[in-house]
Chain A
Amino acid sequence: MDFRYSQDQLDLIDAAANVLSGENTVERLRAFAADPTTICKSENSLWQQFAELGLFGFMAPESLGGLAQPLEVMVGVAESAGYVGLPEPLIEVAGISVPLLNELGFEDELTAVALGELSVGVISALQTYQSNAHFHDSFLVAGAGVDNLQSRSSLKLTPCNSIDPLRQLTRVELALKQNALADRANLHGAVLSAAQLLGLSRRMIDMSVEYAKERKQFGKPIGSFQAIKHHLANAYTQLEFARPMVQLAALQGGVAVHNAKIAAIDTATLIAETAIQVHGGMGYTYEVDLHLFMKRAWALSAEWGDRNYHMRKLEQYLFTDGATLGASQTFS
């Protein structure tokens, strides 16, 4: 029993974090926000760097040239992607599509994805709204007859309008059933969206702490007021008790996933509200960067099952005779 990342795992996570924070600056986000249709993989040097670092093959088997990393390590990468507000679907492709492509035996496609040449998204009953679908060449469609890969051009996608300026949102016009493949996609999707929410939360805390040190009122930094300190300390505490749950969910699956996603949703919601409060009037503008992270947090909160979906799963689990409860059952 040693519930920590190993040094090798930490090195991988750090390497990914360095690439992400190096290039994906707020200026880059602002440029994309002005026109999210420009978020593409062609002439995208960051996407190329992901390929060079082996990030797309992060979870692919070694026999196919992958790094065969488990979901909990991907969680660390997803946190970094959240922290920088990455608009590209790195986490969806590497953390959800790749394991599923592997499972379904799409080896050629896997190779092309690993090189960064092909991008594959996932559509399931819980993911009928697609973010930046234009980025992908094709989609794994779960729960519409035979699970299969379909080209983007063969799908009917109707535009809708997300508050997140980095999400070009569309609705998938397909009737879908929840099936085994969709369940597996959802396991990865819920855990990795939770991990991104943790990263977004940390970013909003850091931005708020920075601001609270700089902004002066009544002749003092506002961070010296106890009210502000307590807001931020509460935010930090929520986050610290969400993170291990998300990592555990990646290791265990099952009910831990629902707990983890709800923890991440509640954490991100609270922290977004805290961050805007600490920023005062500044936080209510489009000019200050905070809103980019806040809006992404709202959007990711409902991906791969909203709060109700996960809460109902837990209610079903807990309020049934024979649920495993009490001490000594969390770990086996």
Chain B
Amino acid sequence: MNINFTQEQQRFRAEVRAWLADNVPAERLPSFDTAEGFELHREWEKKLAAGNWGNVNWPIEYGGRGLDLISWLIFEEEYYRADAPLRVSQNGIFLLAPTIMEFGSDEQKARFLPPMAAGDEIWAQAWSEPGAGSDMAAITSKAERDGDHYVITGQKTWSSRAVFADWCFGLFRTEAGSERHKGLSKILVPLDSHGLTRRPIAQLDGDPGFAELFFDEVRVPVANLLGPEHGGWGVAMATAGFERGLLLRSPARFQEAAARLVRLYQSHKHRLASGVGEQVVQAWMNAERFCAATYQLVARVQAGASISSESSANKLFWSEMDKHLHRTAMSIMGAQAELQEGLDAIDNGRWLDGYMFSLAGPIYAGTNEVQRNILAERVLGLPR
């Protein structure tokens, strides 16, 4: 075991830190769930891309630096330390990109990865349907083959930021008469396609962060099929594995939140009950444990291990940790906890926003109930 960064890694950290210090906007950007905020976040993605900082672990030819996952973790640490804007391209770079690298053709890699890295094409995920949430195998939206096109009809929902995004990666039933996990395919669809209607759905905070997508005979070239036709379930599971297992939520996010929580606690300590300090310490400990576990996971992955069902434990851990951390912040703020931006709102309402979003953590990326079932059955081997 070796827990020291190499000199090269340390140089890399210093370089990232210096670039971020010069470039991170002084003011926090407005929420990327609004039209204005989305475009400002896109501008930020472009700036990152111009400095070649958007995806340090991608191959150089697709807009990355060809570095390993340790470098990615270092980048994330510096990124959150600098309080840089949230990644509006997260669905693309963290979920779709690894899937394209694994399943895509060379043409698809060349076509889709560079504009994704550049912030020119921002991606939304279009999997859930009104009748297919936890039970994703119940998907009914269909894509019928018509020559060299698919014709897509059906409805998707809860698609994050699809109101503003450029493309979506969807899961559709390509095999007529197929059932459950069989006969599905992953298809890439421009969101401005003819026949595609987007209805914004307001989230808890009132911002239109979700879209419902209505497909009425939307035509897409067969070249937009990602992975095997009718084999979309396996492709989707790989994406979900990246999402839950590692990429979507790196430890830095929670370590920085825990650091802010400690500061919040310090400035309110005089009026807090004795047990609150312990909750704050707990939040910090959780984040440290998550960091330790993640560095070990990355070491295993770099040595060739693949992440499978245990990625569910990862997702459970970070989502429950995030909820606890923000709930603790809410209890510290007392009468100011309910305040959104404006007078007396601590940190301009950031903790309240964070608490609300933390409540979604146990729902998106596969609900925590379903993750517990997966762990119990597939990892622990309990009977179904």
Which A residues lie at the B interface, using CB under 8 A?
128-129, 158-165, 167, 169, 171, 216-218, 222, 225, 227-228, 269, 273, 276-277, 280-281, 283-287, 291, 295, 298-299, 301-303, 306-309, 311-312, 315
Q: Which of A167, A273, A307, A312 has the most CB of B within 10 A?
A: A307
Q: Which residues of the other chain, B, contact A273 by a CB distance below 8 angstroms?
A: 323, 327, 359
Q: Which residue of B lies closest to A303 (CB)?
A: B335
Which B residues lie at the A interface, using CB under 8 A?
128, 131, 133-135, 138, 157-158, 201-206, 210, 271-276, 323, 327, 330-345, 349, 352, 356, 359-360, 362-364, 367-369, 372-373
Q: Which residues of the other chain, B, contact A225 by a CB distance below 8 angstroms?
A: 369
Give bound CA distance, A129 to B333, whole Å: 14
Q: Which of A163, A164, A299, A301 has the most CB of B within 10 A?
A: A163
Q: Report yes or no: A163 in contact with B369, Cβ–Cβ below 8 A.
A: no
Give bound CA distance, A225 to B367, whole Å: 13
Q: Which residues of the other chain, B, contact A128 by a CB distance below 8 angstroms?
A: 335
Q: Which residues of the other chain, A, contact B336 by a CB distance below 8 angstroms?
A: 302
Q: Which residues of the other chain, B, contact A312 by a CB distance below 8 angstroms?
A: 271-273
Q: Report yes or no: A164 in contact with B204, Cβ–Cβ below 8 A.
A: no
Q: Report yes or no: A217 in contact with B135, Cβ–Cβ below 8 A.
A: yes
Q: Which residue of A lies closest to B157 (CB)?
A: A281
Q: For the complex formed, measure the closest distance between the CB of B275 and the CB atoms of chain A, giving whole angstroms.
A: 7
Among A159, A295, A307, the residue within 8 A (CB) of B331 is A307
Q: List 22 A-B contacts (CB under 8 A).
A: A160-B339, A161-B349, A169-B338, A217-B134, A217-B138, A276-B359, A276-B363, A277-B362, A280-B134, A280-B367, A281-B133, A281-B210, A284-B204, A284-B360, A286-B203, A286-B206, A287-B202, A301-B337, A306-B334, A311-B275, A312-B271, A312-B273
Q: Which residues of the other chain, B, contact A298 by a CB distance below 8 angstroms?
A: 330, 337-338
Q: Report yes or no: B340 in contact with A162, Cβ–Cβ below 8 A.
A: yes
Give bound CA distance, A115 to B173, whole Å: 65
Given the interface pairs A285-B202, A287-B201, the reply to whether A163 lies near B340 with Cβ below 8 Å is yes
Q: For the complex formed, measure the closest distance between the CB of B120 and the CB atoms of chain A, giving whole angstroms.
A: 29
Q: Report yes or no: A315 in contact with B362, Cβ–Cβ below 8 A.
A: no
Q: Which residue of A lies closest to B136 (CB)?
A: A217
Q: Report yes or no: B273 in contact with A284, Cβ–Cβ below 8 A.
A: no
Q: Which of A277, A298, A299, A308 has the most CB of B within 10 A?
A: A308
Q: Which residues of the other chain, A, contact B201 by a CB distance below 8 angstroms?
A: 285-287
Give bound CA distance, A162 to B336, whole Å: 9
Q: Which residue of B lies closest to A298 (CB)?
A: B338
Q: Which of A286, A287, A315 has the most CB of B within 10 A?
A: A286
- 14 more contacts with CB within 8 A, not counting A273-B327, A284-B204, A298-B337, are A171-B343, A217-B138, A218-B138, A281-B133, A286-B204, A286-B206, A291-B204, A301-B337, A306-B335, A306-B337, A308-B271, A309-B271, A312-B271, A315-B274
